C-alpha cells in the first residue's frame, strides 16, 4: 500500500542503475521502474495503467516506453500516453545526488478528480474500458454514484443529435436500480448505463 513520504527517498545507487540500464525498486509502498535512457534518469510506476502488466518488461526507444502486453506507449519523461484507450502512467520526480537516485513519491493528484476527467474522455471517445475503470474508482468504498450519473446525463443530452435515446434511458434505469443492488453490482450497472450513453452519442 502506497504511503506518504516527506520528500525524496533514496531509491537506488546510481552505479547499479548505470550497470543495468533499468531497475525495479519499491519506494514508499510504490513499485517503480527506474530507467537510464539517453543520459537521463526516469522513474515511473511499474504497473501499466491499461491492464496492470509490469512496465519493466517493456522496451524503451527514443524516449517512448512500450508495454509488451497490449503495446500501450508512454512518454518516459512525463508518463503521458500516446494511446487513447490507455491512461497516463505516473512519472515521479527524480534527482541524482551523493551517488544515488532519489525519487519523490509524494501524492501529486487526486485520484477521484483524475477519474472524473477520465470518465469524460471515455464518454467522448466511446471507450468502454476507460468508462469502466473510472466508474470502479469513483464508486470504490462509499463513492457516490450521483456524480458519474450526472456526467452521463449531461453528456448524452448535449451530444446525442436525435435527442433522448436508449442510452439515456438505460442509464436512468440503472441509476434507479442502484439502491436495490448489492454494493459490488452497483459499479457494473452504472457502467452499462454510461457505456450505452457513449455508444448512443457516438
pLDDT (0 to 100) of residue 51 = 85
- How far is C-alpha 30 from the geometric centre of its chain's CA atoms? 15
CA–CA separation, 71 and 127 (whole Å): 17
Question: Are 97 and 115 contained in the same domain?
Answer: no
CATH of the domain at 37: 2.102.10.10
Alpha helices for 31-110 (secondary structure H):
none
Look at residues 52, 44, 114, 31 and name the one whose alpha carbon lies nearest to residue 77: 44
What is the residue range of 192's domain?
A: 111-201
Query: pLDDT digits over 146-184, tens only?
Result: 999 999 999 999 998 888 889 999 999 999 999 999 988
Q: Is residue 130 part of a domain?
A: yes
Residue 4, domain member (yes or no)? no
pLDDT at 185 over 70: yes
Clarify whether residues 122 and 192 are in a common domain: yes
131 shares its domain with 180: yes
Count of domains in the chain? 2
Which helix (H) or strand (E) covers residue 159, if one does?
helix 146-159
> Where among 86, 103, 120 does a domain terminate?
103
Q: Is 28 within a domain?
A: yes
141 and 195 fall within a common domain: yes
Whole-number percent of the chain with pLDDT over 70: 97
- pLDDT at residue number 1: 47
* Residue 125 shares a structural domain with residue 50: no
- Which pLDDT score is estimated for 5? 54
Asked if residue 29 has pLDDT above 90, the reply is no
Cell numbers representing residue 201 in the block: 452519442
Identify whether residues 92 and 57 lie together within a single domain: yes
d(CA 164, CA 167): 8
pTM above 0.85, yes or no: no
Residue 157 has what pLDDT?
Answer: 93
For residue 77, is pLDDT > 50? yes
Amino acid at each position: 500500500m502506497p504511503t506518504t513520504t516527506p520528500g525524496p527517498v533514496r531509491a537506488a545507487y546510481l552505479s547499479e542503475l548505470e550497470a543495468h540500464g533499468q531497475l525495479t525498486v519499491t519506494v514508499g509502498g510504490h513499485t517503480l521502474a527506474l530507467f537510464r535512457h539517453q543520459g537521463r534518469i526516469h522513474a515511473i510506476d511499474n504497473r501499466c495503467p491499461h491492464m496492470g502488466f509490469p512496465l519493466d518488461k517493456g522496451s524503451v526507444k527514443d524516449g517512448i516506453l512500450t508495454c509488451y502486453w497490449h503495446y500501450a506507449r508512454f512518454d518516459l519523461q512525463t508518463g503521458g500516453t500516446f494511446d487513447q484507450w490507455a491512461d497516463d502512467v505516473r512519472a515521479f520526480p527524480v534527482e541524482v545526488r551523493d551517488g544515488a537516485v532519489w525519487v519523490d513519491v509524494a501524492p501529486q493528484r487526486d485520484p477521484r478528480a483524475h477519474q472524473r476527467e477520465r470518465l469524460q474522455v471515455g464518454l467522448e471517445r466511446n471507450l468502454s474500458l476507460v468508462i469502466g475503470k473510472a466508474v470502479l474508482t469513483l464508486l470504490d468504498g462509499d463513492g457516490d454514484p450521483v456524480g458519474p450519473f450526472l456526467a452521463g446525463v449531461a453528456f448524452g443530452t448535449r451530444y446525442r443529435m436525435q435527442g433522448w435515446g436508449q442510452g439515456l434511458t438505460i442509464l436512468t434505469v440503472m441509476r434507479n436500480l442502484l439502491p436495490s443492488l448489492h454494493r459490488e453490482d452497483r459499479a457494473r450497472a452504472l457502467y452499462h448505463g454510461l457505456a450505452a450513453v457513449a455508444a448512443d452519442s457516438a
